[in-house]
Structure 1
Amino acid sequence: MSVATNVQSDPRAMALDLAERVIVSLLLGFLAMRFIPSIVNDGNVVNLLLFVSEAVVVGFIVFRRPAKTISRNSSDWLYGFAGTGLALLAVPGGEGALAPAGLVVGLMTAGFLLQFWAKLVLRRSFGVVAANRGVKASGPYRLVRHPMYAGYLLTHIGFLLAAPALWNVAVYAALWCFQLLRIRAEERVLREDPAYLALSAQVRHRLIPGVY
């Protein structure tokens, strides 16, 4: 039984798709209000890396191309919205970093480059809700099936080490609960495509090589 619907033939899906773009754009504005003062006044590289990373995500969401098919499961829409929106609720770090600045910047830079590499492969075939926007099997998709999320994970770990505020710990804990559910939702939709079944047979792990 199909779990997806054609976006162009579903007015509700089209409305939610538009709402998603508006909501993440507004949340990015709130993120900018929190982070840009510390970036400008203090030259905080960690905060700059996080802001650029999240801004790139929003940019790709706003300018993506329509999906071929998209999940019609309301839970999948929740996972997509939460998995994107929660990341934009982080607050700038202050004192009490848990790791040296070099390690933090290294992790966050590696994470940003990995997720940006994945986005370059996808180009505008990018979205938030579980959908089939075309199966990609090149670049970082030869390493894990969801390299973009792997990049987010590295960036978020790096930022948490630099800014271990209780609020950030709660935000990222909730975020990654939704991200794991989101990955499973995406796979449920994509497994209706023979090309994705072939990719799954070649690339065994979803997020972390040798682990998951």
Structure 2
Amino acid sequence: MTTTTSGASQLRAAAIDRGVAVGRETSQPLNKIVLEISVRTGAALLFAFFAYSAMMHWRADPARVTLLLLVVSECIVVGLSLFARIPVKRDWMPLALLSSVAGSYYFIAVQLGPGVKLVPEAVGVGIQIVGISWQIFAKVSLRRSFGILPANRGVVSSGAYRVMRHPMYFGYFVTDIGFLLVNFGLQNMVVYLVQFALQALRIVREERLLSADEQYRDYKKRVRYRVIPGLF
């Protein structure tokens, strides 16, 4: 009788342990889904606020096409991030989170009012169109393997990624330069200098994560430069 009771107790304990384990397994993906939804909803709200403010400035002066193209550029970035697939592995470290979020949503701090025109509006527009076109090419090459935080979403080595390892950042840089040259000011200069530094940090963090993948290490040997061939 004692042996039977003891065996039954062990079976019940094992069943409870399995139940707890299953509960943990089901709650972890649920937590990730909730976090994903929260992050993406926050991104959409931030962009909506920015786009509304920018469009109000543009309606006051429709000749400021660089402002309109800034909205288009950020719409592409935020829009694709909202529909990107959930990565296998992601860097949630505070430094990576700060550089990624601040580097992506820096546009909230951009001075939207008219600034000093270092070049004519048409020149800035031309530079922005080149940058946006390159962004689109890079994102078409990347397909759904796009996101804000550093993550392993699979190694892509075709299209724009044959030229540089992080072509989208090059597109951002060119687009930002086009806007800054036409809307120059102390605030915007500081915002973009900080943003460029954060993007560089973001690239370093992303490569640290991706370099754990042997396929990506082989890719680094074939494509030497991150963003600017011959320099970085």
SS at match of 1:35: helix
Q: Choose the corresponding residue for 2:142, options 107, 122, 126.
A: 122
- Of stretches 68-77 and 49-58 in structure 1, the one that deviates more from structure 2 is 68-77
Q: Which amino acid aligns with 1:153?
A: F
Cα distance change, pair 34–132 in 1 and its aligned pair in 2 (3 A): same
Q: Choose the corresponding residue for 1:23, options 34, 42, 48.
A: 42
Cα displacement string for residues 61-82 of structure 1 (whole angstroms, at most 9, x for unaligned residues): 1111110111142221121111
Is 2:169 the counterpart of 1:184?
Answer: no
Identity %: 39
CA distance in 2, matches of 1:210, 1:65: 32
- Number of residue-to-residue matches in the alignment: 205
Residue pairs, 1:109-188, within 5 angstroms: 109-188=129-208
Q: Aligned-pair distance for 1:9?
A: 4.9
RMSD over aligned Cα atoms: 1.9
Q: Which amino acid aligns with 2:77?
A: V
Q: Aligned-pair distance for 1:165?
A: 2.2
Q: Aligned-pair distance for 1:11?
A: 6.4
User: Gaps (5+ residues) in structure 1?
Assistant: 1-7
For residue 38 of structure 1, what is the aligned residue in structure 2? Answer: 57
User: Gaps (5+ residues) in structure 2?
Assistant: 1-26
For residue 83 of structure 2, what is the aligned residue in structure 1? Answer: 63
SS at match of 2:171: helix
SS at match of 2:90: strand
Q: Choose the corresponding residue for 1:197, options 217, 222, 227.
A: 217
Q: Aligned-pair distance for 1:14?
A: 4.7
Instruction: Give the number of the structure whose alpha-carbon radius of gyration is greater.
Output: 2
Q: Which amino acid aligns with 1:150?
A: F
Q: Which amino acid aligns with 1:177?
A: A
Structure with more relative contact order (C-alpha pairs < 8 Å, separation 6 or more): 1
Q: Choose the corresponding residue for 1:48, options 49, 62, 68.
A: 68
Q: Which amino acid aligns with 2:228?
A: I
- Of stretches 152-161 and 27-36 in structure 1, the one that deviates more from structure 2 is 27-36
Checking the alignment, whether the CA contact within 8 Å between 2:50 and 2:107 is kept in structure 1 is: no
Q: Which amino acid aligns with 1:62?
A: L
Could you tell me the TM-score, scaled by structure 2's length?
A: 0.82
